[in-house]
């Protein structure tokens, strides 16, 4: 444990599949940590590891030099920032705020503006790598914001991730993240359509997968997801409802910018159809269900 | 050169980007070869290498134990098989006919029926690997048809390919090929949409590519195609008009089977739009042009 | 009954929902009529009305001055024209051939070429108006071909239809017909999506319909189809499988021409999905089933 | 002028293409009227007609028994309700608030909740009929909210509209409005695709229109829009950017409810593409530009 690192007090809001292991890594590195989660019981392991459980996002913000948020969607973030007992008005001038949720670039701008007024330095820093990456501390961070601010918090990010892309001013991190998730959703959607086609034609999806892996079309994602799609094992690693939400954010951005994304729009409705029929939380690879008619 | 191999006389119809190097490999392996191409001048190198140039598909068929066709689309194949001076009626009972073009499973069935009447053994055997794979003799073959027939011609296929998937009865090869090309078209289409989005948002596609290569979304195809898409280098490796045709064949099959492919249908119209505006032959990665408005 | 009209001997191939009442109107007008249908029993009423039942399309063609075909799709037409006992080679020079099936403009060109070789004058003349229009003799004809030929057969067409649009050379009739059916499929598909939306939101489709009829969005088609969609009464007036086929023909044409039709492509896959799940023949308004999840 | 009517003081926020003529009709009927618009100069005619121009939305609210808002989109409405000098906190208990903008049912719920807290009665009451309908006082209102409240303000609505549909509780008006606009957008989009197809095939859109008007596909909307589409006259009657926005709201609702709308999603991206390329404000019928490649 580096003693230098422990001089900054960190606040963490959001202890879901991602936030909880990220917090554990912060504690392992010795950072003083205050946390808050809508469902307080999620904080149990962190409190045992020495974190302080606050009563509100506001209380987290008041006691932190660096605030980190990791929540499920834009409304959840707006609520913890500006709702009753919200964090943002309580942040001190000179503090740093890092958001690792996946949200719209429009909300990034709104946050950036509010931070600027309050003398707070802000980074949008969504991640990829899944819950496994969060536990192992090898997430990939996509970062928008000021380079000097990033340099200052780099030691903190280092305990959670292994690769860091500084992509531009505020909004750049989220924009690249949304673009990447649209690609992932389409890759998995493409394989789902192909499985639907060959299955209906009387062949097995396994045959398609075997050939695909011998071709240029092979990918790490498909190696991971296709066998689960063929088995029908949809335990959520990245929940379909979140992928569906991210596709909506990508399309909102595209529609604001006036760039048409017909293929992304088509696949979003397929995810939506499966979401509408799902009785439980499923992984986004469950998109293959659309084709099993 | 194996002398055993040279006992079978091979006929090859279609000397395009793929057929020509496939023929060269057959000659290098010592097979007696008769060829035909709509534009006879394409046969020059093969004739110098010892192949005989026939006057019609029919003449090729008459002098061959094994006939191989490699043409651009279903109408071209129907023309060389059943048009004036067509090959199919001239094939001898007991001969083997292998088609490596990409065509519809419906046409496969029509050919299979005609072959069965004439006592001809037929394999549908489309390939992947591009012109580079054809030159190096390491194509991947997706094969539908009788296992014994395949065993008999395996030595011949071995000089052109490195991997061989026997996928089922006639039609299975084409079905898997169409499914795979739909996946490739969607992967490239997905990256094109993402490039369009981040570019319009003021970022660079190169940034997206760099992050993507650090993620599960990385793939051999994208490593190869994305840099060319970013440079705007669309020299045809696999022409867009052929990928667009294959998407049409995949959708025809899906629509016969009653399995909806909304994402494939969406991306096909994007390829179509780019095809409609293209002034010259371009690679299918030129689909990115749709997003440069 | 005009005696002048009865001088031309008419042949009619295809006695389905449309062809049968068209034939009855030809008999009522006094025309000598020879007919053929794949299922011969469909000819019963016509034979009682004085028509002669032929043994093959060829026999129909041999005894006719004017041949009319009205079959379900392009393969069915190719079969009656060029299959065993096919009609086209048997048509006499100087005769007129009118096709009222809905087929591709590409097939129109193939037929036109064959007719030209044989000295036969050819009109593509698809219709709209449904089985009710066929019975009442007030179909709308969309016609491609030579104006003088049309003038010559106008008295014959007059007993089947009430409006006649001469739209250009061969192919023009089918092109306008396909464009029109794409519009009808999208209008009904649009209402189906809207019904799906308001129903899921807890409102009734009847409310939407009532408001729609008060607005510029009202249309004859929707007045007719929406109540049936809301009741779930899908007795086929125009079968979904035929509308789905016509959408495929429209998209084939668009993809040959290089004009992208993303909305038509999207709705086709919705029709396809419903077709794939339907257990029986249903009207195309059954597309609304997609949204009842 | 009815004197009874003049007892209620009305506030009107938003003096655009729709709001201005609606205000003029309120004045003609003798209602005391206070107005506000972001661009104050738009109020000129109303002030001449006796309306009072307020300095802020708040001032309008303070002096009104009935508040009416008619602005372009959800952010504009949130701004006039809750921004600096916003109207909603200034509304008196017992007053009535009617919103005739087209917004999301989610925002309707947020407004309803705030109104309930303040003892304000709220109706969502979007309209159809265009600027022409607004001038003539024959708009169609789609209304969600309490029946008694509606009864109370009916005399006021009567001077602006001719048909009134009470569709259910708050949100019902907007839901039906969004569904209806999705239908209109798809009808015009359908004709645009068909015009694109026949034009590329060498025919004239006028021919298609003529045939269409003879068929069940005819509609008031197409009679109005198609000639302008064929002429290329895109003077905004209903601006494309607003139709595009409404399609986004309809899809947001559908994606919250889990009902997939693939055709609406497809046409939205076509509108988006045209919006992205447009240099000026155009009518939504300009969607036809997509097909003129």
Give the residue ranges of chain B where pLDDT is below 50: 1-6
Residues shown for chain D: 293
- Chain C residues near any Cβ of chain B (below 8 Å): 244, 248, 252, 254-255, 257-262, 265-266, 268-270, 272-273, 275-277
Closest residue by Cα to residue A140 from A172, A115, A173: A173
Query: Which pLDDT score, from 0 to 100, does residue A67 have?
Result: 98
- Is B272 in contact with C258 (Cβ distance < 8 A)? yes
Tokens describing residue D178: 């969004």
Measured CA to CA, the distance from residue B239 to residue B28 in angstroms comes to 28
The DSSP string of chain C is: --TTGGGS-EEEE--STTHHHHHHHHHHTT--EEEE-SSGGGGHHHHHTTPEEPSSHHHHHHT-SEEEE--SSHHHHHHHHHSTT-SGGGPPTT-EEEE-S---HHHHHHHHHHHHHTT-EEEE--EESHHHHHHHT-EEEEEES-HHHHHHHHHHHHTTEEEEEEEESTTHHHHHHHHHHHHHHHHHHHHHHHHHHHHHTT--HHHHHHHHHTSTT-BHHHHHHHHHHHHT----SSBHHHHHHHHHHHHHHHHHHT---HHHHHHHHHHHHHHHH-SS--BGGGGGGGG--
- Is A194 in contact with B182 (Cβ distance < 8 A)? yes
- Is C277 in contact with A293 (Cβ distance < 8 A)? yes
Pairing status of strand D127-128 against strand D139-144: antiparallel
Cβ of C1: how many Cβ atoms within 10 Å? 9
Closest residue by Cα to residue A232 from A269, A206, A212, A211: A206
Pairing status of strand D121-124 against strand D96-99: parallel
Tokens describing residue B105: 């499973």
Tokens describing residue A192: 């789902």
Vertex B30 angle, CA B25 and B35, to 5°: 65
Closest residue by Cα to residue B192 from B143, B148, B134, B243: B243
Where do the DSSP E strands lie in B146-270?
Answer: 161-168
The answer, yes or no, to whether ipTM is higher than 0.85 is yes
Query: Which pLDDT score, from 0 to 100, does residue A85 have?
Result: 96
Distance from CA of D267 to the nearest CA of C (A): 6
pLDDT mean over D60-80 = 96
Measured CA to CA, the distance from residue B51 to residue B74 in angstroms comes to 26
Measured CA to CA, the distance from residue B92 to residue B88 in angstroms comes to 9
Measured CA to CA, the distance from residue A23 to residue A12 in angstroms comes to 7
- pLDDT (tens place) for every residue of chain A, 293 residues total: 344 444 799 999 999 999 999 999 999 999 999 999 999 999 999 999 999 999 999 999 999 999 999 999 999 999 999 999 999 999 999 999 999 999 999 999 999 999 999 999 999 999 999 888 999 999 999 999 999 999 999 999 999 999 999 999 999 999 999 999 999 999 999 999 999 999 999 999 999 999 999 888 888 888 889 999 999 999 998 999 999 999 999 999 999 999 999 999 999 999 999 999 999 999 999 999 999 85
Is B68 strand, coil or helix? Answer: strand
From residue C227, give the alpha-carbon distance in Å to each of B233, C230, D175: 54, 5, 20
Handedness of CA D211, D213, D219, D223 (dihedral sign): positive
Distance from CA of C198 to the nearest CA of D (A): 7
- Is A248 in contact with D260 (Cβ distance < 8 A)? no
Q: Check if the beta carbon of residue C130 is closer than 8 Å to that of residue C114.
A: no
Contacts of C220 (CB under 8 A, 6+ apart): D216, D217, D218, D219
Long-range interactions of B40-43: CB distance < 8 A, separation 24+: B42/B15, B42/B16, B43/B15
| Nearest-by-Cβ selection for C198 from D176, D191, D220 | D176
Is D227 strand, coil or helix? Answer: helix
Is D233 strand, coil or helix? Answer: coil
DSSP secondary-structure letter at D291? Answer: G
| Interface A:C, Cβ pairs < 8 A | 10
Choose the catalytic residue: C110, C177, C235, C245: C177
Residues shown for chain C: 293
Is C4's pLDDT higher than 60?
A: no
End-to-end CA distance of chain D: give it in Å, rounded. Answer: 55
- Is D277 in contact with A266 (Cβ distance < 8 A)? no
Per residue in B69-81, pLDDT (tens digit) is 999 999 999 999 9
Is D92's pLDDT higher than 70?
A: yes
Q: Tokens 């719920």 identify what position?
A: D109
Query: Which pLDDT score, from 0 to 100, does residue C223 have?
Result: 87
Closest residue by Cα to residue A290 from A244, A251, A238: A244
**Nearest residue in D to B273, CA atom:** D293
Q: Give the pLDDT band (50/70/90) at residue D293.
A: low
> For residue C115, which phi and psi values (nearest 5 degrees)?
-65, -40
Q: Check if the beta carbon of residue A286 is closer than 8 Å to that of residue A189.
A: no
Handedness of CA D55, D56, D60, D63 (dihedral sign): negative
Q: Provide, as residue numbers in chain A, all residues whose Cβ is less than 8 Å from the Cβ of B183.
A: 190-191, 194, 212, 217
From residue A180, give the alpha-carbon distance in Å to each of A34, B265, C10, C292, D255: 31, 22, 64, 32, 21
Q: Give the pLDDT band (50/70/90) at residue D292.
A: confident
End-to-end CA distance of chain C: give it in Å, rounded. Answer: 56
Query: Which pLDDT score, from 0 to 100, does residue D244 have?
Result: 98
Q: Provide, as residue numbers in chain D, all residues whose Cβ is less than 8 Å from the Cβ of C263.
A: 186, 189-190, 193, 263, 266-267, 270
More confident residue, D130 or B169: B169
H/E segment holding residue C211: helix C205-213
Q: Tokens 């595209």 identify what position?
A: A254
Query: Which pLDDT score, from 0 to 100, does residue A2 have?
Result: 44
Q: Is C177 known to be catalytic?
A: yes
The mean pLDDT value of chain C amounts to 95
Closest residue by Cα to residue C243 from C108, C36, C72, C116: C72
Query: Which pLDDT score, from 0 to 100, does residue B1 have?
Result: 39
Contacts of A221 (CB under 8 A, 6+ apart): A184, A187, A188, B216, B217, B219
Tokens describing residue B102: 């990409």
C-alpha dihedral, C209 to C211 to C215 to C220, nearest 10°: 20
| Nearest-by-Cβ selection for C167 from D207, D266, D270 | D207
Per residue in C36-75, pLDDT (tens digit) is 999 999 999 999 999 999 999 999 999 999 999 999 999 9
């Amino acid at each position: 444990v580096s003693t230098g690192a422990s001089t900054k007090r960190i606040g963490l809001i959001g202890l879901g599949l991602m936030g909880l292991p990220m917090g554990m890594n912060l504690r392992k590195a010795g950072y003083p940590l205050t946390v808050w989660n809508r469902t307080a019981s999620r904080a149990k392991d962190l409190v045992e590891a020495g974190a302080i459980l606050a009563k509100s996002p506001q209380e987290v913000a008041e006691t932190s030099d660096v605030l980190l948020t990791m929540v499920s969607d834009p409304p959840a973030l707006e609520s913890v920032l500006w709702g009753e007992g919200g964090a943002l008005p309580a942040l001190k001038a000179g503090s740093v705020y890092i958001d690792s949720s996946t949200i719209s670039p429009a909300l990034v701008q709104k946050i950036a503006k509010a931070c600027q007024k309050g003398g707070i330095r802000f980074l949008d820093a969504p991640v990829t790598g899944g819950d496994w990456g969060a536990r192992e501390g090898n997430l990939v961070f996509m970062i928008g914001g000021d380079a000097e601010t990033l340099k200052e918090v780099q030691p903190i990010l280092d305990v959670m991730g292994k690769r860091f892309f500084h992509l531009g001013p505020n909004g750049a991190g989220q924009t690249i993240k949304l673009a990447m998730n649209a690609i992932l959703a389409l890759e998995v959607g493409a394989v789902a359509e192909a499985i639907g086609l060959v299955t209906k034609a009387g062949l097995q999806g396994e045959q398609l997968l075997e050939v695909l892996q011998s071709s240029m079309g092979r990918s790490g994602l498909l190696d991971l997801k296709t066998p689960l799609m063929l088995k029908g094992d949809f335990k959520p690693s990245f929940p379909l409802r979140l992928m569906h939400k991210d596709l909506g954010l990508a399309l909102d951005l595209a529609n604001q910018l006036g760039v048409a994304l017909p293929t992304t729009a088509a696949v979003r409705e397929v995810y939506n159809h499966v979401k509408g029929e799902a009785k439980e939380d499923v992984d986004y690879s469950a998109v293959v269900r659309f084709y099993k008619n």
